[in-house]
């Protein structure tokens, strides 16, 4: 338990430092920005998924004089840290559960925002981590994890079985969406080897939970022949 608390504290400290850097970069942008977003200062960032081999191609790092690029990279790190802090939360208590859901949602929103603006900001080839397809996959994964938290909350709060079934079904669909984007040929080599099997397992698990709670709901209400969950429901 001490290790978990220490890890969360370290992530939180780093997140605060990155937010300070973000404010600093935005301040520079307001005061000194020249034409074409240039400041004549080189900003270098390494690919977050680079393992040093380079066998799959793509840039291992990028150095350009572009404040927009610096802002994008700072935001990427904020989203990454938010997801790390969210993952380290104890979701068996309300405080940890709420913080995890909030941070996963914020992380998803940042990755989605970066997906929409990265091409117009850089106007050149990016590192693999800033590829729009990568950002879409990360955003989808964060949204699925945020929705997963709501399933845990519904179970913890003893919500109606039909409600839990619906939330679990929605979560399974979000993991299907995340898995589809993570399997994209242009990005699937980026992930740690355990990521895809875990996401596949979660997709199956939440569909199984949906069927289980829907079955309990139907049996409780004597809905004969309706104890499976309709995957076409929203």
pLDDT in tens, 26-81: 555 554 555 555 556 777 889 999 865 444 445 688 988 787 888 888 889 889 98
The mean pLDDT value of the chain amounts to 83
pTM of the predicted protein model: 0.82
Long-range Cβ contact pairs of 143-147 (< 8 A, separation 24 or more) = 143/104, 143/105, 143/108, 143/174, 143/178, 144/171, 144/174, 144/175, 144/177, 144/178, 144/199, 144/202, 145/83, 145/86, 145/87, 145/104, 146/101, 146/104, 146/105, 146/108, 147/171, 147/174
Taking the domains of the chain in order of start, what are their residue ranges?
Answer: 2-157
CATH architecture classification, 2-157? Alpha Horseshoe (1.25)
Q: Within 10 A of 12 (CB to CB), how many other CB atoms are there?
A: 14
pLDDT in tens, 171-226: 999 999 999 999 999 999 999 999 999 999 999 999 999 999 998 888 887 776 55
CB atoms within 10 A of CB 13: 11
CA distance 99 to 92: 12
List, for residues 105-125, the tens digit of each pLDDT value.
999 999 999 999 999 988 888
User: Does pLDDT of 159 surpass 50?
Assistant: yes
């Amino acid at each position: 338990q001490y290790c978990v608390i220490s890890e969360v504290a370290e992530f939180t400290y780093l997140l605060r430092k990155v937010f300070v850097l973000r404010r600093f970069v935005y301040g520079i942008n307001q005061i000194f920005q020249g034409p074409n977003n240039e400041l004549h200062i080189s900003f270098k960032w390494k690919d977050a998924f680079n393992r040093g081999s380079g066998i799959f191609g793509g840039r291992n790092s990028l150095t350009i004089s572009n404040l927009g690029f610096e802002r994008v990279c700072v935001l990427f790190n904020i989203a990454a840290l938010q997801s790390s802090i969210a993952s380290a939360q104890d979701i068996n208590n309300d405080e940890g559960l709420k913080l995890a859901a909030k941070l996963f949602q914020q992380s998803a929103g940042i990755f989605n925002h970066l997906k929409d603006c990265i091409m117009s900001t850089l106007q050149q080839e990016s590192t693999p981590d800033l590829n729009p397809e990568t950002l879409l996959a990360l955003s989808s994964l964060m949204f699925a994890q945020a929705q997963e938290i709501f399933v845990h909350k519904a179970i913890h709060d003893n919500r109606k079985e039909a409600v839990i079934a619906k939330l679990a079904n929605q979560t399974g669909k979000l993991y299907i969406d995340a898995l589809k984007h993570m399997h994209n040929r242009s990005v699937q080599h980026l992930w740690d080897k355990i990521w895809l099997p875990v996401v596949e397992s979660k997709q199956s698990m939440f569909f199984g939970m949906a069927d289980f709670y829907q079955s309990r709901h139907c049996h409780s209400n004597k809905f004969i022949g309706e104890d499976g969950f309709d995957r076409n429901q929203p």
